[in-house]
């Protein structure tokens, strides 16, 4: 009797899957960032829906078009999304503006600051104890490589509330990243094409507040492929 019931359940599951009634994994939205140095293609995580939907909304309304990568630090990250960077004067201080709202933080141990991670910038803890994300400013990780020993010492020295899987250790060892930001800033996507463009932008000459001396402007659009 037990075998018969099991067989019926197995047949039902098979038919359910074949018929297309089984729940399908939601597709990830892709975004293309175009710069003077080439294109960067991103995917947005469905697991961070508020950040995903907000980013899509801003891209679709052209919010990011003509904004700059206004803060660039080699072996760390490239940052953009400040609306005040549009037509900003040379040398002007940038990085303090946004759309007028923040987004609640969404930390997920599965999404670390590996090379190519897309994350939300934010105000520092002393004025933002809940670590809420900027409504528009973001950064893309370039980072550097870390050995497992370095990571463990790093966690200990900074008292970080992080536990890495073996796969994540390997990712930092082989690809690199910025582990010092894990579980402190919301990661909501990642680069799938254009890592060389990140490196080119990260290598530009910078001035005060790490702003590129020559503007690095961007446009964005949602793409299907």
Report whether pLDDT(17) > 70. no
Q: Tell me: the pLDDT tens digits for 80-124?
A: 999 999 999 998 999 999 999 999 999 999 999 999 999 999 999
- Give the residue numbers spanning the domain of 119: 26-223
Q: Could you tell me the pTM of the whole model? A: 0.88
Collapsing DSSP to helix, strand or coil, 131 comes out as: coil
CA distance 50 to 54: 6
CATH classification at residue 91:
2.40.100.10
Q: Tell me: the pLDDT tens digits for 127-164?
A: 999 999 999 999 999 999 999 999 999 888 888 888 99
Report whether pLDDT(11) > 60. no
Q: What is the CA radius of gyration of the chain?
A: 21
Q: Tell me: the pLDDT tens digits for 39-64?
A: 999 999 999 999 999 999 999 999 99
Residue 51 located in a structural domain: yes
Distances (CA, A) of 68 to 71, 96, 123, 132, 164: 9, 13, 19, 22, 34
Residue 66 located in a structural domain: yes
Residue 21 located in a structural domain: no
- Residue at token pair 């020993």: 149
- Number of domains the chain is built from: 1
Collapsing DSSP to helix, strand or coil, 105 comes out as: coil
How many residues in the chain? 225
DSSP sequence for 11-55? HHHHHHHHTT-SPPPPPPPEEEEEETTEEEEEEE-TTSHHHHHHH
Residue 187 located in a structural domain: yes
CA distance 1 to 132: 56
CA distance 30 to 101: 24
**pLDDT band at 24; cut points 50, 70, 90:** low
Residue 14 located in a structural domain: no
Residue 96 located in a structural domain: yes
Residue 5 located in a structural domain: no
Residue 185 located in a structural domain: yes
């Amino acid at each position: 009797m037990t075998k018969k019931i099991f067989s019926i359940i197995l047949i039902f599951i098979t038919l359910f899957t074949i018929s297309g009634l089984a729940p399908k994994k939601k597709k990830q939205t892709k975004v293309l960032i175009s710069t003077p140095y080439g294109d960067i293609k991103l995917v947005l995580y469905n697991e961070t829906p508020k950040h995903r939907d907000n980013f899509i909304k801003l891209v679709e309304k052209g919010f990011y078009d003509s904004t700059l990568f206004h803060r660039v630090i080699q072996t760390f990250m490239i940052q953009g999304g400040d609306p005040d960077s549009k037509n900003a004067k040379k040398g002007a201080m940038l990085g303090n503006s946004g759309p007028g709202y923040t987004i609640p933080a969404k930390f997920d141990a599965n999404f670390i600051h590996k090379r190519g991670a897309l994350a939300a910038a934010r105000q520092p803890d002393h004025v933002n104890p809940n670590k809420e994300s900027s409504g528009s400013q973001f950064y893309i990780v370039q980072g550097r490589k870390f050995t497992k020993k370095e990571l463990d010492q790093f966690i200990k020295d900074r008292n970080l509330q992080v536990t890495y899987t073996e796969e994540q250790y390997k990712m930092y060892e082989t690809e690199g990243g910025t582990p010092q930001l894990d579980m402190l800033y919301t990661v909501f996507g990642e680069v799938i094409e254009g890592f060389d463009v990140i490196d080119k932008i990260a290598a530009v000459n910078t001035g005060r507040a790490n702003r590129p001396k020559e503007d690095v402007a961007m446009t964005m659009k949602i793409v299907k492929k």
